[in-house]
Chains A and B, each alone.
Chain A
Amino acid sequence: MTDMHAEGGGPRQPPSDALPSEGLARSGQRRQLSPEEAAQMEEKIRKVELAISLVLRIGVVVSVAVISVGLGLMFAHHGSYVSVGGHFSYSKLTSRSTPFPHTFSSLGHAIGRGEGRGIVVLGVLILILTPVLRVAVGVLSFVYEKDPPMTIVTLYVLAVLIGSFFLAGV
């Protein structure tokens, strides 16, 4: 099966015995696809890529919007943060002792009170979740492409990602 250049050669060679298990034809190489099948495959992959790209865009736009609202509230609530001749230094907010939410319960309270910093953290968490979401969409897309090996690969990555959040004690 050295049919690397078969595309331009003979039209539609008879498919080998590997036909029923396209993704698992494992003599080293994938079964050569007929032009129609190849075009269909292209179309499927393109759809998947567009879906992933859309998921990312939505995640990114939402997180930027939430972060901006949070920042706006933060400055609106604390006049001293913005006064031009003010003596309030940013370093008070970036030291090790600065209080800010870093557990889900404290985050919930901060958002409930309408605190800007809580809303910013929420936006950052949405951003952190976008890659996880992307892998999840990847799992679905490989299932849709009927590609068992890659589905397992992507499922493993998703499991490790989700597991890491639990291991962190979230």
Chain B
Amino acid sequence: MTPLDFVVSLALISVAAGVLGSLIGLGGGVVIVPVLTLLYHVDIRLAIGASIVSVIATSSGAAAAYVRERMTNLRAGMFLEIATTTGAVSGAYLTTVLPARFLFIFFGLVLGYSSFATFRRRHVAEPLSVSNDRIANYFDLHGSYYDPAEHREIPYKVVGTKLGLALMYVAGLVSALLGIGSGALKVPAMDSAMHLPMKVSSATSNFMIGVTAAASAGVYFIRGQIDPIIAAPVAAGVLLGATFGARVLGRVTSKTVRLVFVVVLVVISLEMLQKGIFP
């Protein structure tokens, strides 16, 4: 396989990764890392560097479309970024202390549980109309969005900000430690713990993962993990796919988004457990 074949084939796979990643708010890394390591036999360190690039590409590519459709809750996203960016920075310094094996097992279990929690909520479509959460009221994190699938404006209230912040800190930590998109924890934190509508959770997660990834991208660049011949097709392909996926999100129902999310989450959690148990 010549470098040209490599670039073209990887770009095509990246388009698919971008569509999936932006639809469920996980970022393209979920697809990119296994493809690079298993299919192309690329060194895992370089694959993780490419994954960070793909997460930022998903986020920025999709966000332009989402924000315009007002599906992203910018206030809640920015507020929760306090916890994620702090987690990402502290994670970069914990890498030497915590053994990756246990992290994989721990994270695999957490994801397994959150996929179950999301699945149980698959029929819940009506958001909350009152909130006694003092933090959410203080920062006015509530919102509303126009749902093209239901042809109406849907207002919603936010609760559980403390639990949400705690989960977001863990999400940032894990993102820096394991190099995988932290969206896998962000979406359940917003959907299950804070009761944001599923589509808003996905769109807001999409907004946030880019910011979280940027907080550890500098480290990856200096460590020499961003290889141009891998990053170029990944960035271009994922950007294209993400713009498309962002348009799809408006039209499908919340239930569909949740189910796709659950399937992907189960796959990731099994992958994590496997890495932790049989390294």
**CB-CB under 8 A for A53 and B64, given A71-B232, A131-B214:** yes
Q: Which of A56, A68, A83, A100 contacts B227 (CB 8 A)?
A: A100
Q: How large is the interface on B (under 10, 10 to 19, 20 to 34, 35 or more residues)?
A: 35 or more
Q: Is A75 an interface residue (CB 8 A)?
A: yes
A170 adjacent to B130 (CB under 8 Å): no
B130 adjacent to A168 (CB under 8 Å): no
A90 to B92, CA, bound (A): 30
Q: Is B134 an interface residue (CB 8 A)?
A: yes
CB distance from A168 to the nearest CB of B (A): 4
Q: Which residues of B contact A67 (CB under 8 A)?
A: 231-232, 235-236
A41 to B140, CA, bound (A): 13
Which residues in B have some Cβ–Cβ distance to A below 8 Å?
A: 1-7, 40-43, 45-46, 53, 56-57, 59-61, 63-64, 67-68, 70, 74-75, 78-79, 81-82, 85-86, 88-89, 92, 130, 134, 137-140, 210-211, 213-219, 221-233, 235-236, 239
CB distance from B87 to the nearest CB of A (A): 10
Q: Which residues of A contact B239 (CB under 8 A)?
A: 60, 64
Q: How many residues of A contact B (CB 8 A)?
A: 72
Q: A49-B74, A170-B218 are in contact. List 16 more A-B contacts (CB 8 A).
A: A28-B137, A49-B67, A53-B67, A64-B235, A67-B236, A89-B1, A94-B43, A94-B230, A95-B43, A124-B231, A125-B221, A131-B211, A153-B78, A161-B214, A164-B92, A164-B216
B214 adjacent to A128 (CB under 8 Å): yes
Q: Is A30 an interface residue (CB 8 A)?
A: yes
A121 adjacent to B228 (CB under 8 Å): yes
Q: Which of B3, B70, B216 contacts A93 (CB 8 A)?
A: B3
Q: Which residues of B contact A30 (CB under 8 A)?
A: 137, 140
B68 adjacent to A164 (CB under 8 Å): no
